[in-house]
Chain A
């Protein structure tokens, strides 16, 4: 519990001073303030003076370059500050991309593990910001409660996934069967326990703070955990549904930056002054082309295309199957205009490439809104980066802010346009029904299949 003495409490700057600072600060916020593109280079000069007086509510994040490893610093000490930062960012970008491909090579299990760790790190970053904004680091119980809610929600989501995809494994083990059958009830009980702990932990002086942190935790969970869960669901459809969206967003980031750097002139939105229309449009077209080619490249390999399945005999994940229609080359007749241009009549494409155009369009048009949202968030709470995990880039959240909506979009896209229901799940549900219901469904199905000609027609009497 907060044990500040009376004197200490009154030492904090009063509300008036805070409000004055905040308004003054936002008035002089320079339009050249570092945005998403060039964090290290333009550290606003005006900021330093204001920070001293406004310690009350403005969390003081140290600049990113304090975190650069010594070896990089030495190697680049000859260059000017701006190019040095460019090089640091470039090297780290390449490192991250290589790391990404390495993890893909290691397999789906590793990917799941990586997604989970990223999710935990993002959650931690956002919650830490909340603590700083509200000075609530010493609130009784609160750190425990935030992590407890994270564990609960993760347990709920991953339990559902496990129950769906590892049906065979679950049926073998007795305790797992019990956990799966009453999964929702158990998750709800765990959540309730957290809720009761929150209510019991309400302390007279800190009601509002505690409610703020409660809401902050829930909104963070809503954003971070649901997204990561959907990413994993997409992964199980086939690694290509995981790799292509993420690569598309990364490519859009990089391409928009490059186009903006070389051709940028017209500002795009007041929120992020460094973004330009030229970067936006150039990024859009180059991303569509990139994902078109990348999809072509990946569609050929079973490793990427097949749904991830768990083989109960060998106790491992297998990615082997007959590729679905989506990944079988087909001939498309070009429309007349394109025919004149290219002098080809037909072209061999994977149907997935058409879908990838939709995915990349979304990534280029709506992805940046996720970035603007994160920029607005950082402006609102006057922080430069979410954290300092990656030198030159800020925290994990900074890298993943454009991915917010992408995972949900891909999931909704798959559910609406690609995949039907999961047959084993349907069978599972069928076997759980009452016998009369099963019989009636059986008859309906039989008539349906007969109509479709999949079953020989009824001979003689109807049953």
Chain B
């Protein structure tokens, strides 16, 4: 018999940010949350089915460039643009723009280009809850 498989082998543990009200389709980020919730439900029900296997993301997306993720992390941690928790990176970028702090343009392009990728749009969360 093969080694007992854990469910976390197929579906890596992901923490999402503080709960957003479900069922709100107004913003892109909320739609992201809803999709994630739906995908998670699918994960729980169809454990044995090989179809929904690897990552909760849509399988058609290529894995992200680590340099891009690093650039976004540095944007999160730069103190000039204010706190980074509780809002999406795009919201933070736009707020910095309106306050006249001139945030770098490539960040916004990257955020819009990968707008459907939860790793990109969400603020950086470390380990625990994003709160």
Does chain A bind chain B?
no
Q: Which residue numbers of A lie inside 8 Å of B, CB to CB?
A: none
Give the interface of B toward A (CB within 8 A).
none
